[in-house]
Structure formats: structure tokens, C-alpha cells
Structure 1
């Protein structure tokens, strides 16, 4: 295996993004660069120099269209890990696309391929208390499920304890998905005027919902050697979420946040 520098890691994630972008462009699927990647596009025309991942945003309906198309095609180098899969790396939270020819060790000691993250925006009401209530319930179920799944995976095969944790994990996962489905049915994204990161941003819930008009369409900005779509209201979104996002963070925060080591396989 070859150990990668931060810049080499960035270029691997950029290749994943380009592949993802081709699938979306070919099938008329809308998405936007998100999070630190979006800041990088606006402020740096590329990666924030110390950033070690790529984030993209998708509306729920566009995301479901993407998953259906992805699953009907062959992808030799890349693999999708779904938020709605009980065995997904971050079940109930976000979807990832992995490069199967790489290995990454994150700050929690987990091993995977190098990846990009897909954050899913659901339709929400313009009622903060309602949003917080459903996000709090989802987070509680997600934490319980994750704890049970960890014990399920660690238990010895063909033992009673493994069977028990498997059943409990499935019960909690199905309950979590059912609660989400009920919420999504009540606030379908094509009918709401607001969208939120219901699955993934409990800690920043007050900032992680916004008028859907911020993401009604996309514009294209330079990012490294290509152009990628960003939501039309990127300035309003970034200002709401980060404040003065053009200002650099303190020097002691200018370092990778997610990765310890990354490798390309032989």
C-alpha cells in the first residue's frame, strides 16, 4: 500500500466527485457542493487547504432518484453505502461513496475506503419545535441502534447473544426508518417551503434548515480543475450556518478533521 499525503487524498476524493457528477449530469439529477467543500468553492476555487473530505447536498427526491439509477448500473471502482441500509457505514445519518481501491483510517479508528459524503435535505415545516422534536427522536433511536449493531457485529457467530442483538438492531433500525417515513410523508419535499438536514445535524439543528428557495436551482463555480453545481442561495446558507465564512478560522483549527491515515491499495 502507498500512504497518501493530504493533497493526494484530496485528489482521490475529487475523482469520486467527478464520477458522481457524471452520473448526476447524465440523468438530470440536481445536487450541490456542501459544507466545507462549498466554502472551498466560494473562497478558494478548490479545496480548503487543510480539508480532508468532500460533502455534497441533495434534496430527498433527487437523492432517491440517484440511488435507484446507481443501483441499476455497474460501478467497478466505487461503492455506495446507504443511510437507509442497516449495514451502511453511517446508517440513519448519511450516504457515502467509497473508492474500493483505497483504505482510510478516521479519527475514531474506523477503516473504510476514501469517500465523499452525501447529506440529504428533507422537507420540513417552518416550525422549529416540530423539527427539533423529530430530530431529537431520530437521534435517540440512531444512538440506540448503533450501540446494538456494534454488539451484534462483535458477538461470536451462532450464539444466542448474537441472535438477540441482531433482532434488537433490526427492530430499532426499522423503527427509526418508520418514524422518518411518517415525517417525510407528512412533509413531502415537493410540497414544503423549507428543507432541513433531519438525519444528520442534530447538534446544529437551529442552523440546518432553510427556505427551499435557497436550493431551487444551481449555479456553477470553479472547484480545482472543474466546475461543479452549488445551490443558488449559497451565500445566504453559508452565512446562516457559518457566519463570516470568508474569514479564516484560527490557525490551530486549520488542520484535517476526519482522517488519520489514507492509502492506495497495490
Structure 2
């Protein structure tokens, strides 16, 4: 029996899940079969080992995941089946992570109490990242002052100091009813976003619990008699240029592995066998 079967729809999502896992050596399996996959031993922080498998469909699209999930579930008999990836927007801001509602009470309690602070993807926003966040909110027609994520990018006492340069450079203005971009501000953000080559590596992202966009994984778990299922997705941007795409995939994968290590590691209590 495999402890966890992890699936991804896109190459970007698959690569992020592979790279963010604490697996020393991934082994190729089923290379000449109908569904090739990677197998490995995931080491938890306290030294336990989880047997895990990772796969993605040859063709793109969420609907393509269900058939390979069913095939691998019958082959590997996983204790948990999981899906990691990205999703556009949602009840969050780009870079945040959404965990789907779990049908399991024990897992639901653990998920609701999950904190991302200790993860390598999590970090305070520097001044440059905070100002970009503010300009992006204004470009979307959102009010950064009342936005629920403002405190993550503008901690107490930093608003005046960080907004001052934008005012002096004529990128934003107070229109009486709130802040708005000037023509120079709109031109600046277009130039900057298209000039950004590297995505952010650390952000003060939040983790939300919400209904699953695609319930196919839960259906496969139910039909295959798999005890647990988990869906974790990072929020990307609907904009033409999405600088959060890579970060969202990696943050989602890191959250997923951390949850699996916590929930399955304590539930299975497998010995350290190497």
C-alpha cells in the first residue's frame, strides 16, 4: 500500500510537487505502461517515512486527472489521494493557497488550524513587493486600504512611509473617495509587470478553506475506497501576465506535503526504516 498518491494536471504543477517534496530519489515506475509515475520515500521532519507516488496526465486539463487517478488507485491502493495545482482567483489574493473542504472530521480540524509560517515559501513582503501589491489592487479596481490582506503587505506603522514615494512620483493620488492610479501609475505597472522575469519566491500568503473546484478526486476516493482525499491549490492571476503562477504552484505543493506529513505521519506512525 502507498501512503499518498499525489496528482497534478499541468507540467508546472507536477514539477513544483516533485521539487517541493522531501524525497531524495524519485524512481520512475510504469514507464511503458498506461500511466507512468514517480515513486519515492518522503521523510517527515520527525524522521518517519511515507511512501508516495506522483503523476500527471499526458494531456492537459482537469478532466484528464480522474482516469489516471482511478488507474493508479487500483494499482497502488493509496491511503490518501491528493491533487495539487493552481486556480485563478477565488476567495483570496494571488499567491494565497486554497484547501478544499475535507469530508473527514479529523482532517478538517487539522486543515482549519494549519499555519504556513514555517514553510520556505512564506515570508514578509519587502517594500518593493508591498508597493507592487498596492498598485495591482488599484489596477484591479480594489481598495487597498480596506482589503483584507493589507496588513500582510503593510504592517502597522508602515503605510505612510511606503505610500509616500508613490505619491511623490505621481503614480497614485487620493481622489477624495479613495486612492487611484494616475496615467503614469498605470503605465508604470504595465512596464514593471512585463519586465519582471523572476516570480516572487516568498510571500506572506494566507491559507483558506473553501469548496473544491473539481470534485473528481473526492469521487475517485469514494469509489475506490480510499480513506482520505486532499486538494490544495495556489491562487494565480487572471491577468495576461501572471507573475504569481510559479509561486502559487510551489506554495500549494509545499502546503500539500506539509499537511500529508502531519496528517498521515501521525496517523500511520510508520517507523524510520532506513
Instruction: Calculate the TM-score normalised by the size of structure 2.
Output: 0.26
Larger RCO of the pair (alpha carbons < 8 Å, separation 6+): 2
Higher share of residues assigned strand: 1
Greater CA radius of gyration, 1 or 2?
Answer: 2
Higher share of residues assigned helix: 1
